Amino acid sequence: MTKMRLILGSGSPRRRDLLAQIGVVADDIRPPDIDETPLKNELPRPYCARMAREKALAVRADSDDVVLSADTTVALGRRILGKPADAGEAAQFLLAMSGRRHTVITAVAVRRGDRLWERDVVTTVRMKRLSDEELNAYLATGDWQGKAGGYGIQGPAGALIPWIQGSFTAVVGLPLCETAGLLQAAGYPVYQGDA
């Protein structure tokens, strides 16, 4: 009998690091190439769930492989704040969130064969009111690049976030409690060491 393989359908080093925290190491990493454009009038939570699902379905895998994909979306009301194209857009996103609460949604999809298990986690995050000095210093770090909403709570932007309600690991990119539950539901041995 061959060992069950876990395929991570994400190129995010943060997701790999989070999985390692619970002793899970993917056997292969296959970031899917899908269109991540929101549909017309699509709300953030359904959008995020659709992205995680489409990523899981787009990853090439054998029928007994377990595929894990996720999507993290930052939302300000009904507005989806994606990955900024440049420092100017990152500044717009950060200024829009400055002194306000916003929502971070992370959806997780696990696929094994034709079965799909899904969960999403919604976390409320408050960003402090940013001074010009704080904004410019953060933008200069380049940490905003490739991150939904233009920031990563686990990096320098952590100093800009005084309060969250929900899952810290979901804001980073993968809610560990829910992800472990989905992997177990798919038959992947999360807590059994080398299976």
Question: Which domain, by its residues, includes 28?
Answer: 6-186
pTM of the model: 0.93
- 87 in a structural domain: yes
Report the relative pairing of strands 115-126 and 6-8 from DSSP bridges: unpaired
Residues 91-138 have pLDDT tens digits of 999 999 999 999 999 999 999 999 999 999 999 999 999 999 999 999
Neighbours of 95 (CB within 10 A): 14
Q: Which residues, 6 or more positions from 183, have their beta carbon under 8 angstroms from its beta carbon? A: 6, 24, 66, 68, 110, 190
DSSP lists the bridge partners of residue 76 as: 79
CATH number at residue 113: 3.90.950.10
Catalytic residue among 27, 62, 65, 71: 71
- 80 in a structural domain: yes
- 142 in a structural domain: yes
Report the relative pairing of strands 66-76 and 28-29 from DSSP bridges: unpaired
Domain count, the chain: 1
Q: How confident is the model at residue 3 (pLDDT cuts 50, 70, 90)?
A: confident
DSSP lists the bridge partners of residue 107 as: 71, 120
Q: Are 103 and 124 in contact (CB under 8 A)?
A: yes
62 annotated active-site: no
Residues 31-82 have pLDDT tens digits of 999 999 999 999 999 999 999 999 999 999 998 999 999 999 999 999 999 9
